[in-house]
Amino acid sequence: MIRNMAIGALLAAALIAPSIVHADPVLFPGKSTLVVRDRFSDEILGNGPDIVFIPGLASSRETWGKEADRLKDRYRLHLIQVAGFAGEPARANASGPVLIPTAEAIDAYLVEQHLTPATVIGHSLGGTIVLYLAEHRGADLKKAMMVDTLPFYATLMAGPSATVEGMTPMADAIRSGKSQMTDQQRSQMMASMAAAQSDKDMIAGWSKVSDKPALSNALADDLTLDMRPELGAISTPLTLVVPDYAPLGVPDGANLARYKQDYAAVKSMTFVPVTDSLHFVMLDQPAQMDAALDRFLAN
């Protein structure tokens, strides 16, 4: 349950609807600059210290829209959107691996634009990209925040003994388009992403206009990326925002305990629990998300 339901719902919704290619979306027309690269685009606005925001699987940069509007007078914001997600043309993500190449492309961009050491914030798969950078490009990060992200997503399906080898057949099926879900499964999974129906509809809309191969490959990449062995080598200070999934009946503290166990090897790790929230914390509990961001940015 929990994050696997959210990611599965995004993939299922995208596979049901035809892929639609839209122009690169801009949240703040007339106030921002859009930089387009092969594997992502970056909407830049505001003035002050730089902050990089990365949304999750199939998600728009609109995930971070309210936070951007609140912070733009104090910071220069970089709102990333992964190519192929939420209507953005897939470009280099149209085929082949997505997750690691996109992470490496974002890191190269941070270096090129003299944004390092960078402050980076990621939700879900965006948090996976952040964690990958902390492990492999740690010198390029000042500090990082992740929202509802595990070091090996597959453990939610196969438990703590999950292995890359064991998940490869499922990943291969997803890449080939042979993995299907029923309408009932999709509906159940959609309920785990956000509380308000308007937010569920928005998230489903993003997935419906995502590029199917890019989305499938990104999910398959996530299923076979195990970052647990190198957690102890991370030197970047990490903050993890943890929803409690109480609206789904998850026992109090259960999700936080799971995350603390999975990240026990990280030397500098701050956990921020959020109450009465599902996967999209910034939509369900904006005040708690704002407070977590302010504390993170102040330190």
What pLDDT, in 10s, does the model give residues 194-237? 999 999 989 988 988 999 999 999 999 999 999 999 999 999 99
Compute the distance between CA of residue 52 and CA of residue 121 in angstroms, rounded to an integer: 6
Query: Can you give the pLDDT at residue 24?
Result: 56
Between CA 163 and CA 159 the distance in angstroms is 9
Which pLDDT does position 191 carry in this prediction?
61
What would the mean pLDDT of 239-259 be, rounded to a whole number?
96
In the chain, where the domains are located: 3-298
Regarding the domain with residue range 3-298, which homologous superfamily does it belong to in the CATH classification? Alpha/Beta hydrolase fold, catalytic domain (3.40.50.1820)
* Residues 8-27, mean pLDDT to the nearest whole number: 52
Q: Model pTM?
A: 0.92
Residues 6+ apart with CB under 8 A from 287: none
The pLDDT assigned to 22 comes to: 44
Mind giving me the DSSP string for 137-205? SGGGEEEEEEES--S-TTHHHH-TT--HHHHHHHHHHHHHT-----HHHHHHHHTTT-SSHHHHHHHHH
Among the listed ranges 44-58, 68-82, 130-144, 157-171, which one has the minimum average pLDDT value? 157-171
| Per-residue confidence (pLDDT) for residue 192, from 0 to 100 | 79
